[in-house]
Amino acid sequence: MNAKQRVIVVTGGGSGIGRGTAKVFAAAGDTIVIADVNEPGGNAVVAEIRRLGGRAEYRHVDVAVDASVEELAQGVEAQIGPADVLVNSAGILQNASEIETMPIAEHDRVMAINYRGTYLCCRAFAPRMARRGSGCVVNISSTSAVHAMPLLAYGSSKAAVQMLTTNLAVEFGPRNVRINAIMPGYVLTEQMQARIDAGKRDPRSLALHSALGRMVTPADVGNAAYFLCSEAASCITGISLPVDAGYLGAVSYLHHPGLRGVLPHRADKGPVF
């Protein structure tokens, strides 16, 4: 439990990583603002948190729209209280594609939500934190920010989020606002499950492309976000923390051409990649 009841704003809190993160902070005694464009989903998470004894409110936001983000920041401060923590979890996925076949409208939508949305939310909340002399921001990046994947818009948007995180950490650090990012690996969210069900993702391959042999859960990311916003991380800012079940290490290790036959315990689960 926290000594101080904090106000935590979670964009994209109506599902996936945002939902898992909101529940972690709520369980620790914080007041949660579920900020999402999906009103039914956001209200469902609020109801879930309240059933578990936590405090939560829903606020509508479209992170790709400047005025909507500013309205959120103003409304939270006036109606609930100054935000101590912002978790920028709002984002969308894309299917694998090549540059010739990916519609430019899809590319622009991914960039508008994943990068520009994070930028706008940081712009709305971080200066308010700075004026009070404290606050934490956690941006959600991805391992696709540092490893080549056929996710042209998604990977690029997340790489931009990481650079934004580093820049803002330096800008706001002197005013005691810490800004970090998390790089999740393959997370079993509702969006990911839908892609698995549609045959667009292979869950066995997703799990085996990691050191731990499993996918990441939304709660795993939430626990990392909670740590980054705690006093235990008071000297940590400007980083992008992998929460990936060891994916970043495993993806090159397991593809080494001399590996076949070296790891019999993995052979029981299937071929080494």
Mean per-residue pLDDT, 172-201: 93
Rounded distance between C-alpha atoms, residue 59 and residue 210, angstroms? 36
Residue 221 lies in a domain: yes
**pLDDT score for 195:** 82
- Full residue range of the structural domain in which residue 26 is found: 7-208+217-248
**pLDDT score for 270:** 46
Task: Report the run of H or E that residue 7 belongs to, with start and end.
Answer: strand 7-11
157: pLDDT strictly greater than 70: yes
Give 22: exposed, middle or buried? Use CB within 10 Å, 0-12, 13-18, 19+. buried
Residue 253 lies in a domain: no
Inter-residue contact 25 to 1 (CB < 8 Å): no
Inter-residue contact 12 to 90 (CB < 8 Å): yes
pLDDT tens digits along 85-142: 999 999 998 888 999 999 999 999 999 999 999 999 999 999 999 999 999 999 999 9
pLDDT tens digits along 47-87: 999 999 999 999 999 999 999 999 999 999 999 999 999 99
Mean pLDDT rounded to a whole number for the chain: 92
Residue 268 lies in a domain: no
Mean per-residue pLDDT, 150-161: 94
Residue 263 lies in a domain: no
Q: How confident is the model at residue 262 (pLDDT cuts 50, 70, 90)?
A: low
Residue 191 lies in a domain: yes
Domain at 44, CATH number: 3.40.50.720
Rounded distance between C-alpha atoms, residue 17 and residue 219, angstroms? 7
Residue 145 lies in a domain: yes
**Into how many domains does the chain fold?**
1
Q: Tell me the helix, strand and coil percentages in the chain, rounded to 5.
A: 50, 15, 35
Residue 256 lies in a domain: no
Q: Which active-site residues does the annotation give?
A: 154
**pLDDT score for 273:** 42
